[in-house]
């Protein structure tokens, strides 16, 4: 939201108060509060009719500082609120400065107003002249804004899943969940958090609408604003992007660890396609006959009767024996997933029940809020009501007990603001936050009935903290190369916002992909954390495209399953540290300025570079950081730093291994869930002097190179393990590749 008319003037009808002079302060052991006059005070007379702005600084965690800006402080607080963790730690308050860990918030004294954020002797950012502002409009609306300085070459990342340019500089972004597809400024997963390549991140602690102007209104500042009389934000020191994400997810929650089977290939019925058990069986049989290992089968919307979504009852005309069908699928080694959403159609028997018991959101006059978009006369489950949560969870529990393994928790973005919530929540604040309640209810059902290590969602909407309930997918994309690229941008943006696991509809949701698009997307999809074949009006089984599609899908599915020892460790890093499985290049190479704007390639885990091909002819350009990288598929050594321009067939993609990596390769290609340490091969690429430890399953392998000797230990035991030394062009290791059994 913009408030200025150029650099000097305000927009017509606005009155804006800015801190001008620090007049007073008070402190305790854990916080510092300053009072700033909105004009210079030269005499006692200047204190009359002069508003004060109150700024409170505190520290919830080491290297994190919270700033709360307030004008009128007598308002009644309304929820919901983000769950922000705190940690008891030393905080130093000295004069007008507060220090938490290595991060200091320091107010400028005297006639010059300012607040600087300093870490390890370096100013990260700060707010100065006309940075903070309290805005009144001619219509009686109130806003608070803050502006933080951007340095030369500073790039801003994050703000949730955004499909435009990966670097947010120059963009206006409203944090407001919408069902807008993947080709516009709207997004399903809005997160008021960003990080920069200057060593810090910022979380705006407001669950409702937050308006960002990133080097747009003021080209050397990032501005964020909220409606009301107060604004609270947290500055998080890194210094690296990975460090920032570790601290951000420590504050807002880290992802649960999805079960190993969820990393396998998912196949769905697609959305509006006709299907029944015979169709499902034909798909499963077709995959098996062609040697395509499938892990999960997903039933989309029409497992229920038309106009009844959601009543959680199988359509008896199509599925006369759901428990038997689920068992038959389980007997074939498959897990199952069902589509759900939080809306209750008027035709559903649950509508009457929910309305009578107060489980549906109501308008101010007491009527159930309804509309005809999506489902005729639908209402919305009020998850602020504990009884409504239990009611909804009970319906899901029945399905889990029947044999369902996972839920695709679709929607959660179409949340009205002209309603009254059971717990009195503010409708504006609840709009984005609704998805957090929704996905938590669904996730908790799976945890309670299947166990903590077996729970997984396929969710579309999210906000701050939503990363705790994986997995999320990118929404309704299209069957084009352009949409494939925008999906990747959205995923990288989400990964920069604290989310560890992400997927997308392979082949695109809208439209039927031509075989070339499908095959290119298969490689990208199987080199993502989670992999699902899904569409709208057409099926996504590969033999409907061409024979080569079957071969490409088989090849990349086998590749992913063989990489599971490596991917599982990346998943555990997401769970334990908050580092995403799919990582923007800037996360892995923060000191390389060439990666600042890269959004058509990524790191899969810490050691694999992936550059999806976005063209039918296979032309691809990508950047290789410094060092001798090795193609995992061809064995070719690629020297960096520099750009590569290559042409790849449908069965190939740039997939490079970082020099010095120890890559564990599993011994199975038929499923993702197996004993990853059993028969594992450790492939060492351009081995470096010294020791490298790698977790594989429940074991730790330590690879040590000392001159020409390579030693491998498993949990401290020096036994023979299979090791392949790849590269090693130095005199010590001899020329060419070598396969060693080290002991």
d(CA 144, CA 223): 10
CA-to-CA separations, 406 to 106, 386, 397, 437, 471, in angstroms, rounded: 49, 23, 11, 17, 11
Please pick, among 161, 243, 313, 413, the residue that the annotation labels catalytic.
Answer: 413
Which has the closest alpha carbon to 469: 511, 514, 518, 408? 408
d(CA 500, CA 498): 6
Q: Is 413 a catalytic residue?
A: yes
Please pick, among 410, 426, 486, 607, the residue that the annotation labels catalytic.
Answer: 410
Query: 55 with 231: CB under 8 angstroms?
Result: no
d(CA 199, CA 241): 7
d(CA 399, CA 549): 34
Which has the closest alpha carbon to 62: 219, 284, 303, 234? 234
> Strand (E) positions, 571-654?
582-583, 602-604, 608-610, 619-631, 637-647
Query: 59 with 237: CB under 8 angstroms?
Result: no
Q: What is the dihedral of CA 334, 580, 248, 457, to 10 degrees?
A: -20
In which region does residue 533 sit, left (phi positive, over 0), alpha (psi from -120 to 50) or beta (all else)?
Answer: beta
CA 432 to chain centroid, in Å, comes to: 15
CA-to-CA separations, 468 to 254, 383, 465, in angstroms, rounded: 5, 18, 6
Length of the chain: 743
Q: Is 670 a catalytic residue?
A: no
Q: Is 410 a catalytic residue?
A: yes
Query: 62 with 87: CB under 8 angstroms?
Result: yes
DSSP run (H or E) holding 553:
helix 547-562
d(CA 325, CA 315): 13
HEC letters along 60-109: EECCEEEEEEECCCCCCCCCCCCCCCCCCCCEEEECCEEEECCEEEEECC
CA-to-CA separations, 180 to 183, 300, 315, 522, in angstroms, rounded: 8, 20, 29, 24
DSSP run (H or E) holding 281:
helix 277-289
Helices (H) and strands (E) in the chain, counts: 11, 44
d(CA 436, CA 350): 22
d(CA 705, CA 726): 13
Catalytic site positions: 410, 413, 476
């Amino acid at each position: 939201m913009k408030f200025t008319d150029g650099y000097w003037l305000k927009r017509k009808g606005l009155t804006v108060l800015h801190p001008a002079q620090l007049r007073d302060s008070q402190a305790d052991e854990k916080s510092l509060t300053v009072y700033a006059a909105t004009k210079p005070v030269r005499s006692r007379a200047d204190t009359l009719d002069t508003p004060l702005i109150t700024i409170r600084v505190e520290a919830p965690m080491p290297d994190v500082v919270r700033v709360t800006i307030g004008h009128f402080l007598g308002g009644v607080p309304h929820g919901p609120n983000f769950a922000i963790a705190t940690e008891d730690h030393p905080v130093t308050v000295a004069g007008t400065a507060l220090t938490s860990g290595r991060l200091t918030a320091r107010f400028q004294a005297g006639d010059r107003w300012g607040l600087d954020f300093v870490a390890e002797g370096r100013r990260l950012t700060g707010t100065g002249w006309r940075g903070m502002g309290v805005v009144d409009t001619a219509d009686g609306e109130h806003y608070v804004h803050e502006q933080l300085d951007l340095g030369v070459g500073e790039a801003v990342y994050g703000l949730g899943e955004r499909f435009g340019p990966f670097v947010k500089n120059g963009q206006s972004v409203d944090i407001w969940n919408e069902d807008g597809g993947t080709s516009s400024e709207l997004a399903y997963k809005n997160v008021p958090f960003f990080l920069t390549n200057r060593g810090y991140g910022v979380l705006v602690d407001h669950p409702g609408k937050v308006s960002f102007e990133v080097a747009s209104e003021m080209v050397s500042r990032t501005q964020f604003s909220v409606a009301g009389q107060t604004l609270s934000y947290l500055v998080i020191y890194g210094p690296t992007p990975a460090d920032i994400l570790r601290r951000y997810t420590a504050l807002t929650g880290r992802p649960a660890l999805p079960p190993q089977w969820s990393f396998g290939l998912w196949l769905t019925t697609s959305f509006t396609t006709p299907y029944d058990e015979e169709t499902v069986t034909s798909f499963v049989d077709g995959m098996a006959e062609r040697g395509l290992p499938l892990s999960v089968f997903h039933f989309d919307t029409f497992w229920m009767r038309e106009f009844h979504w959601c009543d959680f009852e199988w359509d008896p005309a199509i599925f006369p024996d759901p428990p038997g069908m689920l068992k038959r699928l389980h007997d074939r080694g498959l897990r199952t997933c069902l589509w759900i959403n939080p809306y209750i159609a008027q035709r559903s028997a649950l509508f009457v029940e929910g309305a009578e018991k107060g489980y549906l959101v109501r308008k101010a006059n007491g009527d159930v809020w309804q509309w005809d978009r999506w489902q005729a006369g639908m209402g919305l489950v009020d998850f602020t009501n504990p009884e409504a949560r239990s009611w909804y969870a009970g319906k899901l529990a029945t399905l889990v007990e029947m044999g369902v393994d996972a839920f695709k928790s679709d929607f959660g973005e179409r949340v009205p603001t002209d309603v009254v919530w059971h717990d009195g929540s503010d409708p504006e604040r609840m709009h984005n936050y609704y998805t957090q309640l929704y996905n938590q209810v669904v996730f908790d059902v799976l945890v309670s009935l299947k166990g903590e290590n077996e729970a997984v969602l396929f969710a579309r909407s999210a906000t701050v903290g939503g990363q705790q309930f994986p997995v999320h997918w990118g929404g309704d994309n299209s069957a084009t190369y352009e949409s494939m690229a925008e999906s990747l941008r959205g995923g990288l943006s989400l990964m920069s916002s604290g989310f560890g696991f992400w997927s997308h509809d392979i082949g695109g949701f809208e439209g039927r992909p031509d075989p070339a698009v499908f095959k290119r997307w298969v490689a990208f999809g199987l080199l993502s954390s989670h992999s699902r074949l899904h569409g709208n009006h057409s099926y996504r089984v590969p033999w409907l495209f061409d024979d080569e599609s079957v071969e490409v899908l088989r090849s990349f599915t086998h590749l992913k399953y063989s990489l599971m020892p490596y991917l599982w460790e990346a998943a555990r890093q997401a769970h334990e540290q908050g580092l995403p499985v799919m990582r923007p290049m800037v996360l892995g190479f923060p000191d390389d300025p060439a990666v600042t704007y890269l959004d058509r390639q990524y790191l899969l885990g810490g050691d694999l570079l992936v550059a999806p091909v976005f063209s039918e002819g296979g032309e691809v350009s990508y950047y290789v950081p410094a060092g001798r990288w090795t193609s995992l598929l061809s064995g070719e050594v690629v020297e960096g730093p520099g750009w590569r321009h290559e042409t790849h067939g449908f069965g190939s993609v740039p997939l490079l291994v970082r020099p010095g990596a120890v890559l564990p390769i599993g011994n199975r290609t038929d499923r993702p869930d197996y004993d990853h340490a059993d028969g594992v091969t450790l492939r060492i690429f351009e081995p470096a002097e010294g020791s490298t430890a790698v977790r594989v399953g429940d074991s730790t392998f330590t690879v040590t190179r000392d001159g020409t000797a390579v030693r491998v230990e498993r949990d401290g035991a020096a036994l023979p393990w299979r090791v392949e030394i790849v590269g090693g062009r130095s005199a010590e290791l001899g020329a060419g590749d070598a396969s060693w059994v080290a002991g």
